[in-house]
A and B are shown apart, each in its own frame.
Chain A
């Protein structure tokens, strides 16, 4: 009973947060100004964040390395997440640990166009994912 109540509450909260001004069928523009956007094609179909929640970039500093994990809700019940090790502006790097709809999918490559002043922007593709782009804010 408690579980059902929790699921109902979760659905209610998700519904409340829906930003209906975002068209989930159109890719965001390619920007590098921290617009908090993410979009890509998965199997050729557009998946875009922003309607259900804003995408996030989590920066982590370890002893001798850094990483950036990007996570985004790209559908009512679709989530995308991947990690970039040692990200640097201007570099093309692999992204790993890709999860989409609770499934692990192929790794790919990301090109980081900006990583400065708390803004993390780039393009990505690999495997089922193509034409990916993001423009996010992060905290070091």
Chain B
């Protein structure tokens, strides 16, 4: 136990020494993971009871980002940076008659405003991209695949604490919004398009709200 306390103490000391430095480099690469919540309409799922839908709303998400920070500052401590984001999300649920495993992959170019300080950065970013939606579901133990690929947009807010000039820890809140009035379903060797699905009360807007934690790398 003492060993771990000593190790933790050394780590904190190292981190605080490293944190004296500002980031260097023109680019930033980051990876995050954390909890995610599915908000809004649930379309094409195998059970529409409130209880099941509420269970299915809790999932996990992960993301990878790249930003070109450059050298130029605007208003002393701000940087306007282009970038790219990929976010994946997964939501799982099971009920008596089947199950759903929703996978969403979102990729979009970003424009971000960074407030760059000595030890930390704050950022706001947004972009419009494409969301790939798959629901690998089962109905009475038989496979059923739903897909619904749509345009989507995202808004993100994040913060980074620099551990060294090259590495920082970061947290981020990302909201990806899309809308769909239809989906396609593959089942028993056939494929159908379902429009304004009556079991879901028609289509509509849905989103993923994700709270992500991870690392940033500056180079």
A residues near B (Cβ < 8 Å) are 20-27, 41, 44-46, 51, 131
Nearest 4 Cβ contacts at the A-B interface: A25-B187, A20-B195, A21-B198, A23-B194
16 residue pairs of the A-B complex, CB under 8 angstroms, read A20-B193, A20-B196, A21-B194, A22-B198, A23-B194, A25-B187, A25-B188, A26-B46, A26-B139, A26-B199, A44-B140, A45-B142, A45-B187, A46-B142, A46-B188, A51-B192
Cβ-closest chain A residue relative to B200: A23
Which residues of chain A come closer than 8 Å to B71, judged between CB atoms? none
Contact of A46 with B187 in the complex, beta carbons under 8 Å: yes
Q: Is B50 among interface residues, defined by CB-CB distance under 8 A?
A: no
Q: When the two chains form the complex, which single residue of A22, A23, A24, A41 contacts B140, counting CB atoms closer than 8 Å?
A: A41
Cross-chain contact B97 with A20 (CB below 8 angstroms): no
Residue contact A21 to B196, C-beta cutoff 8 Å? yes
* Across-interface contacts of A44 in B (CB, < 8 A): 140-142
Minimum C-beta distance from B97 to chain A (A): 7
Given contacts A25-B187, A131-B140, 12 further A-B contacts (CB under 8 A): A20-B194, A21-B194, A21-B196, A21-B197, A22-B194, A23-B199, A27-B97, A44-B141, A45-B142, A45-B188, A46-B139, A46-B140
Instruction: State whether the Cβ of B84 lies closer than 8 Å to any Cβ in chain A.
Output: no
Listed in ascending order, the chain B residues whose CB lies under 8 Å from chain A are 44, 46, 97, 139-142, 144, 182, 185, 187-188, 192-199, 202
Chain B positions within 8 Å of A27 at CB level: 97, 139
The A contact surface, by secondary structure, is: loop
What is the minimal beta-carbon distance from A102 to any residue of chain B, in angstroms?
A: 19
A103 to B195, CA, bound (A): 32
Give Cα distance in the complex from A53 to B141, angstroms: 27
Instruction: Indicate if the CB atoms of A25 and B144 lie closer than 8 Å.
Output: yes
Instruction: Specify which chain B residues have a CB less than 8 angstroms from the CB of A20 in the assembled complex.
Output: 182, 192-196
Complex Cα gap A22–B192 (Å): 10
Q: How far is the CA of A51 from the CA of B97 in the complex (A)?
A: 21
Q: Is the CB of A23 within 8 A of B142?
A: no
Name the A residues within 8 Å of B196 (CB-CB). 20-21
How far does the alpha carbon of A21 sit from the alpha carbon of B197 in the complex, in Å? Answer: 4
What residues on A are CB-neighbors of B142 within 8 Å? Answer: 44-46
Tell me which residues across on chain B come within 8 A of A24, comparing CB atoms. 187, 192
> Chain A residues near B197 (CB, 8 Å)?
21, 23
> In the complex, A25→B97 CA distance in Å?
12
A21 to B192, CA, bound (A): 11
Q: CB within 8 A of A21: which of B44, B187, B195?
A: B195
Return chain A residues, CB-CB under 8 Å to B202: 21
**Least Cβ–Cβ distance between A43 and chain B, in angstroms:** 10
Chain B residues positioned under 8 Å from A25 (CB to CB): 139, 144, 185, 187-188, 192
Task: Chain A residues near B193: list those with CB within 8 A.
Answer: 20
CB neighbours (8 Å) of A21 from chain B are 194-198, 202
Q: Cβ of B192 and Cβ of A23 under 8 Å apart? A: yes
CA distance A25 to B191 in the complex (A): 10
Instruction: Give the distance in Å from the alpha carbon of A23 to the alpha carbon of B97 in the complex.
Output: 16
**Looking across the interface, which residue of chain A has its beta carbon closest to that of B139?**
A46
